Structure 1
Amino acid sequence: MSNETHVTSLTLETIEKALQGSAVALRSITGYQPAGGQGDKVFPPTYEGGAYAWEERILDGVRVKCVLLDSVQSQANRMELEIYDAWESGDLNVPVITVAFDDEELHKRFTVSSLHAPHRLADALLRDSEINGKPFKETEIGKALRSSDPSHATQIFRYCPTALLFGMWHSTELEKNTLGVKFARAIVSEIIGIDAVPGVKTGSRLDPAGITKSSGPIFKAVDGGWTLDETKAVKEKDKPVLWEKEGSDKAEKGTPAMINHGNIPPSISVIEKGEPGGVSIRKAEQTTVISLPALRRLRFPLDGELRSRPEVDVAARTVLAALALFAATGIRERGADLRSRCLLVSTTTFEWELLDKPMEEPKRYTLTRSEALQLLHDAIAKAKDVGIRWKEEEIVFNPSDELMELVKRSQNVVSTHKNDGKKTAKTKRSSGEA
């Protein structure tokens, strides 16, 4: 008898039965290699001090040195953008709440949606916005946010279902001695590099104009730029101020390198643990897990009902599971171009496993993005049939006057920084801008 597990297409009925039963999770594990081939360097994300996130993990009973290539938070952002792109293209009608920063005095106009904001419906950008002159807190959405919890998740489903998938904590809402509305993540995903070895850092630049170090000195000009003319330079204690970059070597003050001109001699340095020089890996692995118990904890009483009904709970949970499957499948098909010099190619097929009974071999399912989208549409239709639905029209808020002014000042700081780095740093410290 063959030990090979049969792979079938994932159906809506399978998801519904899993949610009604005792199944633990839907899981997808995908293997990757660098696009340049095995042994090619990839560059992980850097954290404070330019460090990589190194750790040892136990794989097949052996301690293995690993490095984080894409965090849970980053993967959640990618999945939310997949949902947003589907909404923007018209493939999917999901709730979207937008704050529009549209003012002539802004250097850059922009919008932020509930699928972009890091804290989703509980984000400060929404909290400090208004609609038709009514503050967010006093709107139907604001009131729904404060009155929701896992046993009353209907309103969050209606306005921001992704908060029920990727988690949300309204930590600034300290009413009645509570810690605010809190929903745990129901889906987690990350990509790690396995058997990771630190690389070396190299640097060089040949200036095509042949500008030499001795051609300076470079002074900070009164008009905000740079100058070679001492008479046009900023003065401190009657002396012209040499141009320097924040954090640069004092010996380099006033050299063309400070304004990005001149040659950089070729250099090489062995990279110690935590310092950026890229890594080589045996393989990369993406693991995505959808927690079915987390979805089962959510209940959806309809308007006017004290308790939820089982058929409504199952329908809403199925929509959320289908939404998670669509987002996770979509980012896999989109490709793992994580950042500059971190392009990965899949070495395994995209499959989902249903972890059900203990010691039982997981059932395996195939699922494409288009199939996942159809599952989601079918789940939404069934949810409507039992009376639970989400908001299908975009809701647009405007920032409060105070928030708009804060953004204007911040953009002015950034604009000033381009012309006068030292002045900007001083402004940030005095105004509290980070």
Structure 2
Amino acid sequence: MLLTIDETRYDDAHQRDCARVAALLSDGESHSRPHVGEALQMTSTTTSRVVADLMERGLVIGEAGEKSGRGRPAVQFALNPLRLGATVIHISSRSLLGVLVDLSGRVIQRLGADVPTNANNETMAAAMRGLVTALVGQCPPGMAHMGTSVSVAGVVNVRDRTWLITSRWPHIRNLDLAAALATVTPVVVVCRHLDAEIAARTIKDAADTRDSTLLLHWGWGIGLAYSIDGEPFMPAGDPFGEIGHWRFNMLEQRPCGCGNHGCLETAAALWALLPQLRETWPELSEDEEIVAGQLTGLDLVARPEITTALHLVARSLANVCRLLFPRRVIVTGPFIGNLGIWDAFEDAFQAEGVMGGLGLPVLVADRSSEDYAIVGAVRPLLNLGLETFIRS
């Protein structure tokens, strides 16, 4: 369920009841007034007052249900997902994807913007503002825009809403995303792409995300997210999970976009491997979604640069497992779709072991999903927007 209710955030009982009813109706189903009262243990008087308030403000809509026996048919109530909307900016390879999402999490508009490799802070900020402005202009009549969630790749300080560095645009440094978008959106929420994705996976399949889960993305860059009992681990909003910038002595001559030398990404990230692979396959794309399909049928394992890359990533992952001891590891990215690479990667990971008699975590290959990232990024904004709406 996308919408949740934290009753401790409301001092007013009526506002708490409004939030509880909205959260209940967010399941997408229609409910009668008696069912709402029974489910939330509210009196009929309170239920009627709350539903009437939410209907007056357009957040809840009602229509007569099917007639059963004598008397008038019971009115069925449902959440009006088009009453509130939010925008999400998502990084897709070297492009920006902007989406307009309604209160149910459904994408109702999608726009893209290419950003040149040499873009600086000003260029990026202008591109983001343009996307948000265009999307807000596409809001259906009656929809209030709640704000914008920015899901970024690279190193980000979530607490300060600052995008520190990214290998996709090496000239971007310490971009204040809140300030960049302040003129076009009422609220700015910032998250890491991988944290948003692992949060959305938790929503979709809670049974598989109990205990602890590690999400490793091996693509244009290399990073990870970690969740405990379904909640992403984010230490006070500071940067986390940038194993792509772990340094190896054997790579010390290789410069990295972060400013150091010898980072894992310099030997294993798509941005580092692509020039070598294009010597044989010049048609290979920079776009992760496209190149994932292109790499599927290629004979890559015999290439020395690929062998080095997969062994370095496998050792890095094993070291992380010795630190966090996850029960499950999900590996995503364009490389793992190649069966030869995946088999060799699994073998290399198994050979690393973890520690003593401790078993290795379950290793799962899965394609990264843009949909996961969008849902995970917009969820906190929808809840914040609903709270603001109910308080108003």
- Place the TM-score, normalised by the shorter chain, in its bin: under 0.3
Structure with the bigger RCO (C-alpha within 8 Å, sep 6+) is: 1
Greater helix proportion = 2
Q: Which has the larger radius of gyration?
A: 1
